[in-house]
Amino acid sequence: MESNKEIISDLNSLITILNDGKQGYESAAETTDSLELKAVFGKYALERAAYATELKAHIKQHGGNEDDNENGGILGAIHRGWLDVKHAVTGNDNAALLEAIETGEKSAIEKYDGYIADYTDHADHLALLKKQRDGIQKDLQQIQSLKAQNA
């Protein structure tokens, strides 16, 4: 069983992942010329920001301090930079953009799954993490559908 300090650290790492996702979606919305994709990416960026806000409130409720890293982590910044380079080389390739987003969402789900498995005896954390994970899974399915349409 993890201590409260370890749990707060884990939840802060999810905030970083969510901020990475938000930044990634904002970058993708700027990159694509598709109005449909701009709308989808904008919606998901707002959703990731809302999830991060929920986690911050949850951390405070449990006596912790959230890391205020609105820009995400270094790996997210590297991934976004890679997206920019890939876009410059491949042009406006929505399928490649969606594939990169798919990779990021799968990674986020893996992280959530790990923490969900660790928190089976923490009902309050578990409910929030499952809700957010299910939302990301739903978004991933939509991204995969859009990727198939843009192939």
Instruction: Provide mean pLDDT across the span 15-37.
Output: 89
- The 8 Å CB, 24+ separation contacts for 7-11 are 7/62, 7/119, 7/122, 7/125, 8/59, 8/62, 8/64, 8/65, 10/115, 10/118, 11/55, 11/58, 11/59, 11/64, 11/66, 11/115, 11/125
Lowest mean pLDDT among 2-11, 16-25, 120-129: 2-11
Instruction: Provide mean pLDDT across the span 75-94.
Output: 56
Q: What is the pLDDT of residue 135?
A: 98
CATH number of 55's domain: 1.20.1260.10
Lowest mean pLDDT among 27-36, 91-100, 108-117: 91-100
Boundaries of domain holding 128: 4-149
Domain count, the chain: 1
pLDDT at 85 over 50: no
Instruction: Provide mean pLDDT across the span 66-91.
Output: 54
Looking at every residue in the chain, the average pLDDT score rounds to 84
Q: pTM for this structure?
A: 0.85
